[in-house]
């Protein structure tokens, strides 16, 4: 969905570039299973969406923004207001990728009707194409309720960060037979309920591979298996903006180092009066 905002491109940084690219759709993504890997990254701001959009099939406005943007200890405190504000910004900055928004903790678990009202609000206020929610068999009824009413849903099983208090931490799941069987049952349940994509997070490689074979929808791995139908990472982790990154993250850059170096160079020039220079000063033409 293109932004409906009228933007003065001569004065505003927020000017999505015109492009002949056509936005992907939910049915197109579902059809990609077994054909070509699906590329997903997180995005929380308009500018990051602009930079990532040409390279991705899906931009996920993850509730990980609670930690990445707001410095919260977990995703549990994230609110609907946060998700809607950042979701709208990402939609305005993109034109190609499907944009999906996480449903925050407490906005969908009570019953399917609560989930529908929350999901409808997200889609209306952001212009996104889909929502994502966590949980397996317990959420199958809710997923079926949403999809029957025209709301595309991405499922999420395995390590589910919103349940960190119940899980006791962020360790990988599926280390024993009972846990493995539960993950597979959860994957099948949400796929059969109608989700068009399924995120498998923090699960043993063989479980992710088996789940991918067992479900009809594409799977998206994060700390899972290369045999998943696609992959997702938190962009700030992948770009090296934090000192600590999880084991499953590959750093593709050291943006923290670059930002630090740029800020240090700026500070030095300000203190030695090297900035602003002639090129940055307005002078009278008299």
Catalytic residue check, 201: yes
Contact 82, 40 (CB under 8 A): no
Contact 246, 223 (CB under 8 A): yes
63 known ligand binder: yes
134 known ligand binder: yes
Catalytic residue among 31, 81, 192, 201: 201
132 known ligand binder: yes
181 known ligand binder: no
Q: Are strands 98-102 and 58-61 parallel, antiparallel or unpaired?
A: parallel
64 known ligand binder: yes
- Could you give the residue numbers annotated as active site? 201
Please state the residue numbers annotated as binding site for Mg(2+). Answer: 63, 102, 134
Please state the residue numbers annotated as binding site for 3-methyl-2-oxobutanoate. Answer: 63-64, 102, 132
């Amino acid at each position: 969905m293109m932004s409906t905002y009228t933007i003065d491109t001569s004065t505003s940084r927020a000017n999505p570039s015109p492009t002949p690219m056509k936005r992907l759709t939910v049915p197109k993504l579902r059809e990609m299973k077994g054909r070509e890997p699906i590329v997903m990254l997180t995005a929380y701001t308009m500018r990051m969406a602009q930079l990532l959009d040409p390279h991705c099939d899906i931009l996920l406005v993850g509730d990980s923004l609670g930690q990445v943007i707001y410095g919260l200890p977990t995703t549990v405190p994230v609110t609907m207001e946060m998700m809607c504000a950042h979701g709208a910004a990402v939609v305005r900055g993109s034109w190609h990728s499907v944009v999906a928004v996480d449903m925050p903790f407490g906005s969908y678990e009570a019953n399917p009707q609560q989930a529908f009202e929350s999901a409808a609000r997200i889609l209306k206020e952001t212009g996104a194409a889909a929502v994502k929610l966590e949980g397996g068999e317990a959420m199958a009824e809710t997923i079926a309720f949403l999809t029957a009413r025209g709301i595309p849903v991405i499922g999420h099983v395995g390590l589910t960060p919103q349940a960190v208090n119940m899980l006791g931490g962020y360790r990988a799941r599926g280390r024993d037979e009972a846990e493995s069987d539960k993950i597979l049952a959860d994957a099948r349940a949400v796929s059969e309920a109608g989700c068009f994509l399924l995120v498998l997070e923090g699960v043993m490689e063989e479980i992710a591979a088996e789940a991918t074979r067992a479900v009809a929808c594409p799977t998206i791995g994060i700390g899972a298996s290369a045999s998943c139908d696609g992959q997702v990472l938190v962009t700030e982790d992948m770009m090296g903006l934090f000192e600590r990154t999880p084991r499953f993250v590959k750093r593709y850059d050291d943006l923290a180092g670059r930002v630090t170096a740029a800020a240090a160079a700026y500070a030095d020039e300000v203190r030695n009066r090297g900035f602003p220079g002639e090129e940055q000063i307005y002078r009278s033409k008299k």
